[in-house]
Structure 1
């Protein structure tokens, strides 16, 4: 298997995992947070895992710029989740 084929396999695996695991969970968290909820320990661990994975994904995007818009949208969604969660935490503290 050449490097190009192997790399495409990795990209496809990352996309499948995102579609079947990461995105549904992120959307569920976002919905709860948008309704005024707070992040729990499991949510925080999940988000930390995603942020660590982005280090590898950034490298892949450098080689496959066609995925850059998708990655940017995902990063933006995670930023919205964390910003709103912080806002909710501050509101609950008042």
Structure 2
């Protein structure tokens, strides 16, 4: 199987997982942290898994620039979650 065909299959599976599993979960977490909640242990485990997977997917994104925007948007969402979660943690411990 050629590299592009193999990449296409893997990317399709990754996008489906993102669309059906990762994005809904991330949006749910974002909604809760935006309301001032702290991350649960389950949320933290989910985010750790996402970041580990992102490192593994970097090669696919590098080889396929058509997915750069999607990857950047996903990274921005996860960064927003982490920034707000950190802010919430600081509020909880300071007052």
TM range (shorter): over 0.9
Task: Give 1:2 shift.
Answer: 2.9
TM-score after normalising by structure 2: 0.95
* Residues matched between the structures, number: 94
Gapped runs of 5+ residues in structure 2? none
> Within 2, Cα distance between the matches of 1:75 and 1:4?
24
TM-score after normalising by structure 1: 0.95
> Within 1, Cα distance between the matches of 2:51 and 2:86?
17
Aligned equivalent of 1:77: 77
Aligned equivalent of 1:56: 56
Q: Give the secondary-structure state (helix, strand or coil) at the position aligned to 1:81.
A: helix
Output one character per residue of 1:3-55: Cα deviation in whole Å (capped at 9) or x when no partner: 32121000000000000000000000000000001100000000000000111
Task: Give 1:57 shift.
Answer: 1.6
